[in-house]
Chain A
Amino acid sequence: MKKPHIGWFLLIATLALAPAGFRMLTWRAPRHADVDSDMARAGQVLFNHKWEYKDALANGGDGLGPVYNDVSCKNCHNQGGVGGGGDLTHNVTTFIIQRKGEKKAREGVVHLDAVKGQPNEMLSDLHPDLPRSARIDLTRLTIIPGQHCNVIPFPEGIHISQRNTPALFGAKLIDEIPDRDIIANERKERLKWGLAPSDNEVAPVGRAHRLADGRIGRFGWKAQTASLSDFVQAACANELGLSNPGHPQPTPLGKPSYQQVGMDLTLDQCNQITAFVASLPRPKEADAGTAGHDGKKAFANIGCANCHTPDLGSVDGIYSDLLLHRMGQTLQGGGSYGQPPPEDPNSRPHDGPLADEWRTPPLWGVADSAPYMHDGRAKTLEEAVQFHGGQAASSAHLFAQLPPPKRVQLIGFLKSLRAPRQ
């Protein structure tokens, strides 16, 4: 028998491997666009501007309101510099109403204030049994370990929670992370934990939030927004009542018939604010010496780094996988950030986040973003670690078991993650 030539083997091997090679060539490289400094400067003006009803910058729209949480972006995003996180007084109250027989829940925000002539929003607008105020103390909404809590009974189908203002530092880098890097993390976690599904409550396996249009959510406590531009537009509408091409302004709960007048922000103005947010520097890890180094090791050893992955794609020091993780019964919070935009009927179905699912918040700059957790229930970093539940419960448990010096080192490491100096 004639011996087959090795060339046959090489030919078959090439044919077998070529499709994968060609496919990889089609992968898009991460985009790194420079920020237009003029746009950023113009955006800074809008970011710091104190908006008024029928504001001159509102292009004929009704300007601030009719309902809003504050009058300027800067008022909330101010810790550690412009663009930082906000304190407890700037918490946003969100609600979710799931009535019997209705497939889709109604979600939104109960705003703190309203312009003159418009009714203030109150929780009682959602249900008469709820208090007649726009916001109540956090201890009346949820049980916080170590604090005296007097939680109000929620009417059936209604859940209310609060959101703390997140810091915006390094948002451009998060925006530029390719979807496939986030999905790669999702798959790595599944592989690492024996193919455990993301809806398990033990292993730290997260899931990317796939939006209705197929994009991957990465901004917001529930990863409900896919891009920085969308995030800015949603915030302008929900927090300041500035309608824009990407997001309508909310109508007052007590006056559903309110008619929107014009558009408060043009697309250019939205892009300017986005450019300013994108120009904010990224937080950097301060040198905390040997103790900080040991603390970082302890951080990894007790499993914090399972979800707060130090690097994501090409972004180093982010300390987040940007995935949704189940955080247990004590950390429930329904309602996303504002009413989601109408779904494209041609888009594929998607699963929204569960009440106890939260995006892993990036820890860069965490030292300057107190209070902590989604509603600011943790006053200190130590409390923040201990309040973790669900998929992170084991890490919280291990943290509690660490010897005090190790705990101090770990907290010392977290305190080295500071906001950038501007």
Chain B
Amino acid sequence: MSGEYVSGEWSDIACDHSPLTYSPLTTMAIKFFCKCGKKLKARDEMAGRRSMCPRCGSPVGIPAAGPTHGGNTLGPMSIKDRLQFWKTHLPSEALPKSLLPDEPTDSFSRDAQRSTQPDDSSTSSSEPAAKSPGKPPEKPPAYFDAPLDRALIRQVIRARRSVAQPQERRLERHWYECLLYPFRAWPLVFGLSGALALCAGLTALVHRQTQELTQGFSTVLIYGLWASVPLLILSYSFGFLDCVMAGGLAGEFRHVRWPGRKIGLAFKSCLTWAACFLFGPIVPIALALILWLQAGEMQIIDWLILGELVIVAFAYWILVLLTVHAKDGLRHSNPLRVTEMVGQLGWSVIGIALGAAGVALIHVLIAIAAFTDLQRSESWGWFALILCSWSGMFWATFLFRWLGVWCRWLDLTSPPRAISNR
């Protein structure tokens, strides 16, 4: 998994954008000469880097893309400059130990880079390599002759990769921007939901074989061992969704968080979800179950009432979860707090929760059909189950991100412990 995915422990991470980013629209715009006379060209984003001359093998510094005006802009960053930058702008844990600052560092930002005059100390080893492209320099810059510390370069590249982010990443400003979040977290969304579907399907298939087991301790043991696997996957799914919402609440946009190796965090999420279910949604769900079991032949009115109860239950569950996460504590799962939360977010949140619950109901119906088909040993059942699970996780991720970010916009989080210790 790429370095974008961070396990659930939260820490302060600089939110500045890296000046060293890739652009998909690259051209081989920089043309220059090696000291051996070879004509070379490089992509824009390579400006300020070092490379090797394919003819003579000596290190070459790639100049800036456009013509430089003496005294107005900085020259290309030398290795030393870049080290200096990363020391000051990266979290210490992201840097190799050898790069940790051992001296006071200066602030360094893109704006500063653009606007400030070069001083002697920062440009001493970063003279402009070429004043204009296509014209060989009369005298190679001093750093060309500096020994190339490859190990140091590798360390810098590794450190930069670990935090490299797309250039335009920022906290979502509109609800539809939250739709991108599940795509960012696609390995988790697809991985967890796929595992969940697989586990649920296998459990259903294995369960019908368990009638061969007589009731007793061994049966309980087998059930317990088997149940632990789906429970673990379910816990991680809940944990991931919790992290998604907590990330939104914290205004976090750089990383996609999940419980990682912290199984305890996943189980805690599972318990939170279960508790939130017991603090309200269980009533309409129990009523729906009684209605379905005892109604006899279902009339249209029965189906409507059943759908209404399930939608109400799901919607309320979503609101309780939101309140618990925003207010940071299960004690806020009472109806009073939920009503208060709805009041703060506006009544439209009820509409959103009902809509989401409707989508959830559709997924439940598809899952039931898939389970039924699965029991007939038809492959369509597996296909539908996995597809339904993927879709469900996608929309849940989107919803939880949206709700989290929404609270962030309105500053409804409980500041001291909103996410810092989750």
- Which A residues have a C-beta under 8 Å from some C-beta of B? 1-6, 8-9, 13, 16-17, 19-20, 23-24, 27, 178-180, 183-184, 187-188, 193-197, 199-200, 202-204, 210, 214, 300-303, 306, 394-395, 397-398
Most chain A beta carbons < 10 A, residue from B208, B288, B292, B309: B208
Tell whether B212 is near chain A: CB-to-CB under 8 Å. Answer: yes
Interface string of B175-213 (1 = CB under 8 A from A): 000000000000000000000000000011101110110
User: CB < 8 Å: which of A3, A196, A210, A398 contacts B214?
Assistant: A398
B293 touches A (CB below 8 Å): yes
Q: Is the CB of A20 within 8 A of B305?
A: yes
Which of B145-153, B246-254, B294-302 lies at the interface with chain A?
A: B294-302
- In whole angstroms, how far apart are the Cα atoms of A19 and B287 in the complex? 11
CB-CB nearest in chain A for B350: A12
Q: Are B297 and A4 in contact (CB under 8 A)?
A: no
B420 an interface residue at 8 Å Cβ cutoff?
no
Contact call B296/A178, Cβ cutoff below 8 A? yes
Residues of B within 8 A of A301 (CB): 214-216
Contact A203 B208 (CB under 8 A): yes
Q: Are A27 and B214 in contact (CB under 8 A)?
A: no
Contact assessment for A195 and B297 in the assembled complex, using a CB-CB cutoff below 8 Å: no
Q: How large is the interface on B (under 10, 10 to 19, 20 to 34, 35 or more residues)?
A: 35 or more
Contact among B203, B284, B296 with A183 in the assembled complex (CB-CB below 8 Å): B296
Q: Does B371 contact A (CB under 8 A)?
A: yes
Minimum distance in angstroms from B49 CB to a CB of chain A:
54
Known contacts A187-B293, A195-B368: A395-B287 contact under CB 8 Å: no
**Residue B4, interface by CB 8 Å:** no
- CA–CA, A196 to B209, complex, Å? 12
Q: Which residues of A contact B371 (CB under 8 A)?
A: 194-195
Query: Which B236-255 residues sit within 8 Å CB-CB of chain A?
Result: none
Q: In the complex, how many angstroms separate the beta carbon of A356 from the nearest chain B beta carbon? A: 16
Distance in angstroms from A402 CB to nearest chain B CB is: 9
Task: Say whether B335 faces chain A, with CB atoms less than 8 Å apart.
Answer: yes
Answer yes or no: B375 CB below 8 A from chain A CBs. Answer: yes
Q: Pick from B203, B301, B376: contact of A23, CB below 8 A.
A: B301
Residues in B neighbouring A13, C-beta threshold 8 A: 335
- Cβ 8 A contact of A20, one of B288, B297, B343, B344: B288
Apart from A3-B340, A23-B305, list 16 A-B contacts with CB within 8 A: A4-B343, A6-B335, A6-B339, A8-B339, A13-B335, A16-B312, A20-B291, A23-B302, A24-B294, A179-B296, A187-B292, A194-B371, A195-B375, A196-B372, A202-B209, A204-B211
Interfacial chain A residues near B56, Cβ < 8 Å:
none
Of the A-B pairs whose beta carbons lie under 8 Å apart in the complex, a sample of 17, sorted by A's number, is A16-B308, A16-B312, A17-B283, A19-B305, A20-B309, A24-B294, A188-B293, A194-B204, A195-B371, A197-B372, A200-B375, A200-B376, A203-B208, A204-B211, A300-B215, A394-B211, A397-B212
Contact of A193 among B207, B294, B305, B342 (CB under 8 A): B207
B36 at the interface (CB under 8 A from A): no
Q: Within the assembled complex, what's the spacing in Å between the Cα atoms of A397 and B304? A: 43
Least Cβ distance of B1 to chain A in Å? Answer: 33
A1 touches B376 (CB 8 A): no
Inter-chain contact A3/B343, CB cutoff 8 Å: yes
Q: Do the beta carbons of A17 and B284 come within 8 Å of each other?
A: yes
Q: Which of A180, A214, A300 is the one whose CB lies under 8 Å from B295?
A: A180
Chain B positions within 8 Å of A194 at CB level: 203-205, 207-208, 371, 375
**Given contacts A20-B288, A184-B293, A395-B211, is CB(A9)–CB(B338) below 8 Å?**
yes
B221 within 8 A of A: no
The contact of A306 among B211, B288, B309, B338, by CB within 8 Å, is: B211
Nearest A-chain residue to B207, judged by Cβ: A194
- The verdict on A203 contacting B375 (CB below 8 Å), with A3-B340, A4-B340, A17-B284 known, is yes
Q: How far is the CB of A106 from chain B (nearest CB, A)?
A: 29
Residue of B nearest to A300 (CB): B215
Residue of A nearest to B342 (CB): A4
**Residues A195 and B291 in contact, CB atoms below 8 Å apart:** no
Central interface residue in A3, A27, A203, A301, by most chain B CB within 10 Å: A203
Task: Specify the chain B residue showing the minimal Cβ separation from A18.
Answer: B305
* B336 contacts partner chain A, Cβ-Cβ < 8 Å: yes
User: How many Å lie between the Cα of A303 and that of B204 in the bound state?
Assistant: 18
**How far is the CB of A394 from the nearest CB of chain B, in Å?**
5
Q: B322-377: which residues lie under 8 A (CB-CB) from chain A? A: 335-336, 338-340, 342-344, 368, 371-372, 375-376
Closest 10 CB pairs of A and B: A180-B296, A194-B204, A203-B208, A4-B343, A196-B375, A195-B371, A16-B312, A9-B339, A184-B293, A301-B214
- Cα distance A227–B82 in the bound complex, in angstroms: 89
Given the known inter-chain contacts A6-B335, A9-B339, A197-B376, please indicate yes or no for A23 contacting B204, CB distance below 8 A.
no
Which residues of B lie under 8 Å from residue A300 when comparing CB positions?
215
Residues of chain A contacted by B301 (CB below 8 angstroms)? 23
Q: Is the CB of A199 within 8 A of B368?
A: no
Contact across chains for A17 and B375 when beta carbons are under 8 A apart: no
Q: Are B305 and A202 in contact (CB under 8 A)?
A: no
The listed residue (B297, B302, B308) touching A214 by CB distance below 8 A is B297
Cβ contacts under 8 Å, B292 to chain A: 187
- Establish whether residues B297 and A23, one from each chain, have CB atoms under 8 Å apart when the complex forms: no
Chain A, residue nearest B309 (CB): A20
Residues of chain B contacted by A23 (CB below 8 angstroms): 291, 295, 301-302, 305
Instruction: For B339, list chain A residues within 8 Å (CB).
Output: 4-6, 8-9
In B252-287, which residues have CB < 8 Å from any A CB?
283-284, 287
